[in-house]
A and B are shown apart, each in its own frame.
Chain A
């Protein structure tokens, strides 16, 4: 059949190693997206040191000697002792409590958010 024409086209042709790299990167991105939010469970704030506690006690002794009110404790919770003996406070329990409050107050939102975070506590 006569009357045909020839059309010239251009197409991008990636090298094979680039295709492999793109595919690998996509796979890694998909895996990474499934990790979700990873909370930090370790200490956030260093606890008061024994020297500071001694100073607090001294202040209380001074106040008591002069008939002024004293504070039996700092009002802080008992600190956690970590592997190296250091004592500190972690925000993780408060974070868990906030999640539980959200789950109770708005379970739908919580469920949607939890879907993005594989490691998210279910409680």
Chain B
């Protein structure tokens, strides 16, 4: 038989549910606190690392383009020389003006091409940097949302575990009280029998006294001779 101080141990190595619940609660609170302090990344031009998104082959693209334009310019100059020679004007002033005009046009064209290449390269880098920054911002917000969900789940699990533990605790208390009530009933029954034993003398005496009541009609009548004395005469005289 177990003594009141003995308790049955769990069959499996189950952790203390209240410890698990309080641990989940603490973790949930910590996580929620972290989420509460979360500051999403601010997307500003200054926060973007545009240079990281620049085309590493930008220079090669530019060089090739410039080279192609230079080749075209050389071919155009050759054509212009041939035309001037055919007209007998090679080396003349008109030939010189035509050459200068052509070279100027190609220089403008090269400058425009270079500017466009640099502009498109930088614009592309800016767009890429913006997309990257927004993606990082969204990832951060999504992570914060996951953490908040996890905190909520931990809170719910904490409540669940605590409730289950308390339900078992209350069930044990109820069942234990039922057993105690039975023990108390046995004690009360034994006390009643003991009271019967110790009260038996009084009970027996009450029965005896009940049986010793004087019955009615038990009187007897008798007569006896009486010789009056002096005092009888005196009392007789006083009665008149």
When distances are taken between beta carbons in the complex, the residues of chain A under 8 Å from B4 are 47-50, 52-53, 79, 87
Q: How large is the interface on B (under 10, 10 to 19, 20 to 34, 35 or more residues)?
A: 35 or more
Are A88 and B183 in contact, CB atoms less than 8 angstroms apart? yes
Interface of chain B, helix or strand or loop or mixed?
Answer: helix
Interface of chain A, helix or strand or loop or mixed?
Answer: mixed
A91 and B204 alpha carbons, distance in the complex (Å): 28
A42 and B190 alpha carbons, distance in the complex (Å): 9
When distances are taken between beta carbons in the complex, the residues of chain B under 8 Å from A81 are 3
A50 and B162 alpha carbons, distance in the complex (Å): 22
Are B205 and A85 in contact, CB atoms less than 8 angstroms apart? no
Given the known interface contacts A31-B201, A42-B190, the answer about A50 and B3 at a Cβ–Cβ threshold of 8 Å is: yes
**Does B16 reach chain A (CB closer than 8 Å)?**
yes
When distances are taken between beta carbons in the complex, the residues of chain B under 8 Å from A42 are 187, 190-191, 194
Are B208 and A28 in contact, CB atoms less than 8 angstroms apart? yes
**Does A111 reach chain B (CB closer than 8 Å)?**
no
Given the known interface contacts A9-B224, A42-B191, A65-B21, the answer about A52 and B180 at a Cβ–Cβ threshold of 8 Å is: yes
Render B12-23 as a binary contact track against A, CB cut-off 8 A, 1 for contact: 000010110110
Instruction: Select B223's contact among A6, A14, A49, beta carbons within 8 Å.
Output: A6
When distances are taken between beta carbons in the complex, the residues of chain A under 8 Å from B183 are 46-47, 49, 86-88
Are B22 and A12 in contact, CB atoms less than 8 angstroms apart? no
> B43 CB to closest chain A CB, in angstroms?
43
**Does A106 reach chain B (CB closer than 8 Å)?**
no
Are A50 and B204 in contact, CB atoms less than 8 angstroms apart? no
> B225 CB to closest chain A CB, in angstroms?
6
Are A9 and B8 in contact, CB atoms less than 8 angstroms apart? no
Binding site for B on A (CB under 8 A): 1, 3-15, 18, 21-22, 24-25, 28-29, 31-32, 35, 38, 40, 42-55, 57-59, 61-62, 64-67, 79, 81, 84-88
Besides A5-B226, A11-B219, 7 new A-B residue pairs in contact (Cβ under 8 A), listed by A number = A12-B214, A35-B201, A46-B180, A47-B4, A51-B176, A67-B22, A87-B4
Binding site for A on B (CB under 8 A): 1-8, 16, 18-19, 21-22, 162, 165-166, 168-170, 172-173, 175-177, 179-181, 183-184, 186-187, 190-191, 194-195, 198, 201-202, 204-205, 208-209, 211-212, 214-215, 218-228
